[in-house]
A and B are shown apart, each in its own frame.
Chain A
Amino acid sequence: MILLWIALLPLFGVLVPLLCSQRSRLFTTWATAAAPAIALGLTLSQAGTVLQHQTLRYTLSWLPSLQLDYALRLDGLALLFVCLVLGIGLLVILYASYYLSEQDSMPRFYACFMLFMAAMLGVVMANNLILLWISWEITSISSFLLISYWWQKSEARKGARMALTVTAAGGLALLAGLLLIGHMVGSYSLDVVLQHGDLIRNHPLYTLTLCLILLGAFTKSAQFPFHFWLPHAMSAPTPVSAYLHSATMVKAGIFLLVRLYPVLAGTDQWYSIVSLAGMCTLLLGAYFALFQHDLKGLLAYSTLSHLGLIVLLLSIGSPASTVAALFHIINHAIFKASLFMAAGIIDHETGSRDMRRLNGLWKYMPYTATLAMVAALSMAGVPLLNGFLSKEMFFAETLNQSILGSLSWLVPVLATLAGVFSVAYSLRFIHDVFFNGEPIGLSKTPHEPPRYMKLPVEILVGLCLLVGIFPEFMVQPILDAASAAVLQDQVPSYSLAIWHGFNFPLLMSLVAMAGGVLVYTQRRHLFRFQHQFEAVDAKREFERLIQLSVRRANVFSRWLENDSLQRYLLLMLLALLVLLGSSLRELHPLSGGRSLLPLDPVTLCAGLVLILSAIATVVVNRQRMLSLLFLSVTGLMVSLLFARFAAPDLALTQLVVEVVSIILLMLALFFLPYKTPRNAAAPRNLLRDSAIALVLGALVGSLCFALLSRPFDSISSFFMAKSKTDGGGNNVVNVILVDFRGFDTLGEITVLGIAALGIFRLLEHLRLFKPSADGEGRLWARQRDSVILNVIAQGILPLALLVSVYIFLRGHNNPGGGFIAGLITSVGIILQYIAHGVSWLKPRMRLNYALMIASGVTIACLTGLGSLWWDRPFLTSWFDHFHLPLIGDVELASAMAFDLGVYLTVVGATLMMLANLGKLTTAHRPQYEEMQ
């Protein structure tokens, strides 16, 4: 339970600064520090147990199906890192309260900072690989927010984005790697995973897994070749750099290597990849650190170099080298954090970080200078300071390895070389900044910082000294415990003594120091040499890479998505062609063997007309009105064919639909150009399009033939049998529509209604002008009224209504029904519009079409709901026969009411579309009415 508090307290701490936004800065600082301070106290209270080489665990079930538990562990390694994270975190909180200026938002800084701290604790305390990954990713996110703290600066934005991209990419690789480990072991629990080192190392997926995890670790710890993001993350406020880029985030990658050391290390792949990356980073960082003019830049490259050193130590793979690595982790965190803070103080008090301008600060801030010099000497590896001890151990380990086979002698040589540069850049830090003449062009006169801004540095530098002088007392216990956790209790005997006698490592140290002094004094030559090369700005390169990929992607997308409807339709039809073709290819034979009907001349003629009119529609497609006429012929032929094959209902419907839709199209075409403009690409595409059309036609035709020539057995026999007895109607088609599948009909009339509403909406925004002439320049007739048409139309309306009623009433038993009746009524009314015009009709016929549609659908719906009253499912039909005097036997059916709904909807929808399209150029055109 205490573990849970340690992990969660900083997380709750995120809220503290946000709640303090109205309070004073000092209050905010102390309030924010409370949570980590308590957490640190709790950790120390557990330290006694952990230092006895015991592991504390706490597990809370979270997502069992993912095997993701909120599982924490506190072993020696975790304890070490928890102390670093919380301890240095507390110092940085104190430091930051003096560093941040009045304009900077303190709550935002502290909130992000605490989030990062909580995530970091999650990484080091996780006992579940997935939980570790989750925390890992949150460190990436919160570090993005911290690096971009000064978001107004372009470099901060870019640096933050680069850091995020690189570390998050690594995070994805890490996820894959961890999932693979889970797949191999069958569990994500670290307890289990750590027991299965052999299984993992001998698994065929080991190499892949290792590479993925190393990708994650290397990107996070900025190892070569992913080192480039770290120097650019220096655009962050210095407290952030002191925390993230010395003690914590960059150490997360190293932590991961150490954590998984028992299961991943010890193979050839491990040796070669890890040592190569570590060695490159070590040298590269040390070399380039010397040439940085920015104080923080120097420290950033130096951090790279030290991280490389630790990684190299881990790659050697001997127990002693692992101890040395752990030791250097502690030391580096201590001296680098203090150096960053010192650099921050200098920046804060002088307004510059450029070492070409900062000179001779000793005179102005002797106290700070002393602190910084001690820390820098520790970084250089000078005796009696902590840096010396671990560096000595490192040198010793480089002598006891064989990672490069017969070339292994190179390792100590290169290590010494790195040592040389490390001494040189430390000297530069000391000499250039604090001595070397007078400051040049500073904006303010340097002076010592406030008392408590120095306090964190003092503590850290004190630790440097204490560890350097009394190593056994200061770090031996925790180092033992941590090593035990990593090496699984096979801790080698090692000595933390300062004096080991005259030996090779000492010699290497001496060479490094002498060389370092030499290099520093002769640095002009080196600077000149380095000056020949163009400096590569990783940030710019990175931005360019991103820009380039965006451009490439743009070209690709433009090529693929050219916004051409024709292309999208083409692709769709091609897809249809491929899928249909691939399945019909397997069909042998095409015909199912049913005997074909004899061909009679009338049908043949109708068929021919059908085909020819379809072809003609396409051929004259540029002359729209003509094309439409041919289309209507096609429609007519289809309705005749329906009649020929004994489907009178369909024939009737098709006929009326044909009339209405042709009127609709003519209305629409009136506003469009008379001819379709000639398309430049048309001839080129003609061949392609006709080929596709023909092949598709052939395929669908074959499909139809294959289907129709096979014996057909379906549920339709049920409808035949039950239509009269259970549905109460002789007309099976109508009974299907209003009863068996009345639900479909309800849906379809809704569709019709929505279509009408939609067309109204489209038209209400449309401003069209009436063309004065047709396509060939003939003026439209001025005279609006035709007397003959007026008279006929007026006479036809009652007739049409009468026919509608007749068709409607007979529908249940004979061809007809609400749908057809509705269309007939509509045609009758449309005729009035055509004959008299809108203005004449408007006062004479007050029909609210939207209301009509709504009433229609509502009636149909209520009919269905009625059956719920009798506890029958929706739309259960009812019918009965009554004997009325005089009239005789009368059938009443709920289906009639339903059909009435259909009728009303059809009339309303048809008229809403046609009439509003017709009204478009009149004063009564559809307009949006503001609602209250």
Chain B
Amino acid sequence: MSVAWPLFHAHLPILPILLPLLAGLLMLFPPLSKALTAQRLLGLASILLQGLLAVLLLLQTADGQLRLYALGQWPAPFGIMLMVDQLGALMLLLTAVLALGALLYACAGSDVQGSFFHPLFQLQLLGINGAFLTGDLFNLFVFFEVLLMASYSLLMHGENRQRTRAALHYVILNLVGSSIFLIALGTLYGTLGTLNMADMAVQVKHLDPTLVPLVKAGALMLLIVFALKAAMLPLHFWLARTYAEASPAVAALFCIMTKVGIYAILRVYSLIFGDQAGPLADLAAVWLWPLALLTLIIGAISALTSSSLRKLNANLIIVSVGTLLAVVALNDRQATAAALVYLIHSTLITAGVFLLAAMIAEQRGRSADHLVAGRPMAQPLLLGVGFVVAALALIGMPPFSGFIGKLMMLQATAGLEGKVWLWPCLLLSSLIILVAMSRAGTTLFWRINGEHRSTSKSGVLQLAGVSVLLLAAPLITFFAADLSQLTSQISEQLYQPQRYIDQVFPMGEKQLDAAAEQLTSSPAAGATP
């Protein structure tokens, strides 16, 4: 054990990627490929271990230092490098919690509606975890592909014509997005000559001024890709239908996907194109700010028109994306710290509502979760309490999680000049969500038609899944102080990209150039094992 421990620690960054990959693969081999219970248990165990790994990584990075992992032992910038900081570790943990809730729910029975659900679920996690860990832009593309491909398959889980149709939009738009990603990568590699993010940041700092427009073109194309993933106006249209139609557990898991886009924006535009990037500094904010605010407003308006709880919830995701991106566009440490708290809250709660909506729909029978009168539910009190908690959190009313993030964001932006639009947008959207949510709640729970009370109670696993997610609402409030301290540290680190660069290249940037030069002059010189 004493020998294994340091070994384990050194390889910690790769484990959140290997674990779901191996778990997913194992499920494809007999005897597991035919054993449902075993697959379920393995899936849950894998997620619990991923959560544990995330906690370990969070503890490991608590000193504010990066943990680097050079794959194949190739030095940066030549090989692929994993790069874990507190932000990455936190996102991993968030993913694990979310996945736990979603998988518990799926294990109640919706996982048998199609083949390969459990392996695909793990591979989906592989893609998401990888995207949070990688320090290489092309590798990010690869993980985007993994998570997209898995999401295409998971979206079609359960036979449903509507579902397939909605998935088609998602697939095609994302295929175009992937092509744009590739063009952007080509442009950036063609100008900066590297794909390691830290190295890119170095190259951008010393960029030949004539290349600036080309790099900018590449950077803005990347923004389109990330904005599509994050569902920012005008690239958000796919989201509401796709998520509302998806199988509940899948929809819940997908709540992290928009956040992957936001994470990528946060990472790339703070590290590579942050304050130190000279003429390219903060180039995304100009576009993000107005578009994010519009996203916020349009999301709120669509929320008002939603005809079902799932649709409403999907639109609330768009609202949260708008909110987050608007705050990210402010480029302010305090605001970003606040946004991260809000990010965690909105991911978990919207996911919980997808599951809750499915349970409500099951108990209401024909009326499902449509906002019309229906038969009385079998467990009105239980689901009602869940709904009230979730609704208050989503509106941003105390005492649940939503108000903490919202309050922190409002407070952080109180002093910022010229950004006055955030306040009215944020407050008005809260009001609109309140109207929509109170309408939805009173209709679903209180407008009863003549039918008999439903007898189909929700299973223990379903309730467990929802509880895992909705418990975030009180817990975030309770541990708000610790959480906000963590996110402040994270945003402190994010806005000091030089610290990242120094850690990736401990011998200094100049040395990097010298090494490269030496290579080109004498190809055989570097022949050391």
Listed in ascending order, the chain A residues whose CB lies under 8 Å from chain B are: 61-66, 68, 130, 133-134, 137-138, 140-141, 144, 148, 151-152, 157, 160-161, 164-165, 168-169, 171-173, 175-176, 179-180, 182-183, 546, 549-550, 553-554, 556-557, 560-561, 563, 565, 567-569, 571-576, 579-580, 582-587, 592, 700, 703, 706-708, 710, 712-722, 725-726, 739-744, 747-748, 750-751, 754-755, 757-758, 760-762, 764-765, 850-851, 853-855, 857-858, 861, 865, 867-868, 871-877, 928-932
Contact = CB atoms under 8 A, between A and B. Distances in A.
A557 B149 contact: no
A273 B11 CA distance: 67
A183 B407 CA distance: 13
A65 B397 contact: no
A708 B525 CA distance: 29
Contacts of B212: 586
Contacts of A867: 73
B116 A757 contact: yes
Interface in B486-529: 488, 516, 519-520, 523-527, 529
B302 interface: yes
B228 A572 contact: yes
A546 B435 contact: yes
* Chief secondary structure at chain A's binding surface: helix
Contact of A175 (B78, B240, B410, B520): B410
B183 A700 contact: yes
Interface stretch (B59-67, B135-143, B269-277, B323-331): B135-143
For the complex of A and B, list the 4 residue pairs with the smallest distance between their C-beta atoms, beginning with the closest: A758-B153, A714-B193, A854-B28, A747-B142
B169 interface: yes
Nearest to B443: A157
B235 A563 contact: no
A579 B221 contact: yes
A268 B66 CA distance: 57
A572 B114 contact: no
Contacts of B72: 739-740, 742-743, 873-877
Nearest to B286: A582
13 contacts: A134-B403, A164-B438, A175-B407, A549-B304, A569-B173, A571-B235, A572-B177, A575-B235, A741-B80, A743-B72, A744-B80, A747-B146, A761-B157
Interface stretch (B34-42, B99-107, B463-471): B34-42
Nearest to B14: A874
B145 A751 contact: yes
A586 B153 contact: no
A710 B481 contact: no
B241 interface: yes
B176 interface: yes
Given A161-B442, A172-B431, A700-B183, A62 B301 contact: no
Nearest to B8: A868
Nearest to A928: B115
Contacts, number: 339
Given A137-B403, A586-B212, A765-B159, 6 more contacts: A557-B301, A557-B302, A565-B173, A568-B173, A726-B526, A874-B11
B213 A586 contact: yes
B238 A717 contact: no
A751 B146 contact: yes
B526 A725 contact: yes
B139 A743 contact: yes
A708 B445 CA distance: 63
B205 interface: no
Contact of A761 (B11, B116, B227): B116
A764 B30 CA distance: 20
Given A576-B224, A586-B213, A761-B153, A569 B172 contact: yes
Contact of A718 (B80, B399, B516): B516
Interface string B311-323: 0000000000000
Contacts of B372: none
B232 to A, nearest CB: 10
Contacts of B421: none
A710 B211 contact: yes
B143 A747 contact: yes
B442 A747 contact: no
Interface string B4-26: 00010011001000100110010
B156 interface: yes
B277 to A, nearest CB: 14
Contact of B519 (A157, A173, A546, A718): A718
Nearest to B227: A575
A750 B146 contact: yes
Interface residues of B, number: 132
A707 B187 contact: yes
Give the interface centre of A61, A160, A571 by most chain B CB atoms within 10 Å.
A571
Given A134-B403, A717-B519, A176 B410 contact: yes
B191 A553 contact: no
B142 A751 contact: yes
A700 B221 CA distance: 11
Contacts of A165: 431, 434-435, 438
B36 A715 contact: no
A152 B446 contact: yes
B146 A764 contact: no
Contacts of A748: 142, 145
B69 interface: yes
Contact of A568 (B238, B304, B410): B238
A178 to B, nearest CB: 10
B135 to A, nearest CB: 12
Contact of A553 (B71, B153, B228, B302): B302
Contacts of A742: 71-72
A928 B111 CA distance: 12
Given A554-B305, A750-B123, A871 B427 contact: no
Contacts of B430: 172
A755 B147 CA distance: 11
Interface string B198-227: 010000000000111110110011011001
B285 to A, nearest CB: 14
Contact of B237 (A172, A179, A568, A586): A568
A874 B78 contact: no
B119 interface: yes
A565 B25 contact: no
Given A175-B427, A751-B142, A850 B28 contact: yes
B516 A726 contact: no
A761 B114 contact: yes
Interface in B398-444: 398-399, 403-404, 407-408, 410-411, 414-415, 423, 427, 430-431, 434-435, 438-439, 442
A556 B301 contact: yes
B192 to A, nearest CB: 8
A172 B433 CA distance: 12
A202 to B, nearest CB: 18
Contact of A740 (B21, B79, B152, B403): B79
Contacts of B240: 561
Nearest to A755: B149
Contact of B481 (A64, A554, A565, A931): A64
A672 to B, nearest CB: 14
A720 B523 contact: yes
Contacts of A161: 438-439, 442
A65 B485 contact: yes
